[in-house]
Amino acid sequence: MAQPFSKPSFLITPLNAAIAVCLLASSSALYAKDVAIKDSQKMDTLVVTAAGYEQKLADAPASVTVITAAELRSRPYTNLLDAMRDVEGIDLGTGQDKSGQGSISMRGLGSDYTLVLIDGKRQNNNGDIYPNGFGGFQSAHLPPLDMIERIEVVRGPMSTL
């Protein structure tokens, strides 16, 4: 018959305790190093629209909101108007313009005061350019959301989207 309190197979000795402490300390140091590497690999968000050249978002001369391609794909957006619904300061309104398109306005100003650029090229026009005042936001010229790398919404005197 086996004895209930036999000699344990692992003894806690000062040497075993020191080895266990060393293993725990080295594993936490390795974890901290991995976290530091991941944090250093994160890049700052860059914007181009606010000043006309690439700069960090924190250094931009205007209030800028950036919507990344990952954010566009993670939500059930079907067009640019859907993507703009969650941006502060953007008013999509409930109506449509004369061409049946939705309109984007910013901070209480009409859509005539909002400029839409794609790669620095103007996409919307005033009603004076189109016959019978059929101007406004022309979404037919916009690429599908899958092709958009990022959207920069600039508020204030620059007011571009």
Is the whole model's pTM more than 0.75, yes or no? Answer: no
Cβ-based neighbours of 118, under 8 Å, separated by 6 or more: 141, 142, 143
Q: Taking Cα atoms as reference points, which of 104, 95, 108 lies closest to residue 151?
A: 104
For tokens 């950036």, what's the residue?
66
Within a domain: residue 142? yes
Within a domain: residue 6? no
**Which pLDDT band, with edges at 50, 70 and 90, does 161 fall under?**
very low
Within a domain: residue 68? yes
Q: Are 35 and 104 members of one domain? A: no
| HEC assignment per residue over 6-18 | CCCCCCCCHHHHH
Residues of the domain holding 18: 12-42
Q: Are 65 and 142 members of one domain? A: yes
pLDDT tens digits for range 99-142? 666 777 777 777 777 777 777 777 766 555 555 555 555 566 67
Q: Are 25 and 93 members of one domain? A: no
The predicted model gives 60-64 an average pLDDT of 70
Q: Are 66 and 127 members of one domain? A: yes
Q: Are 110 and 148 members of one domain? A: yes
The shares of helix, strand and coil residues in the chain, as percent rounded to the nearest 5, are 35, 20, 50
Residue 32 in this model has a pLDDT that exceeds 60: no
| Domains in the chain, number | 2
Q: Taking Cα atoms as reference points, which of 61, 74, 83 lies closest to residue 154?
A: 61
CATH (domain of 151): 2.170.130.10
Q: Are 82 and 121 members of one domain? A: yes
Q: Are 89 and 35 members of one domain? A: no
Within a domain: residue 81? yes
* H runs (alpha helix) in the chain: 14-41, 69-74, 80-84
Q: Are 82 and 111 members of one domain? A: yes
Residue 148 in this model has a pLDDT that exceeds 80: yes
Query: For the chain, what percent of residues have pLDDT higher than 70?
Result: 44
The HSE-up count of residue 47 (CA atoms within 13 Å, CB side) is 21
Q: Are 38 and 84 members of one domain? A: no
Q: Taking Cα atoms as reference points, which of 97, 99, 101, 77 lies closest to residue 87?
A: 77
Q: Which residue has the higher pLDDT, 48 or 66?
A: 66
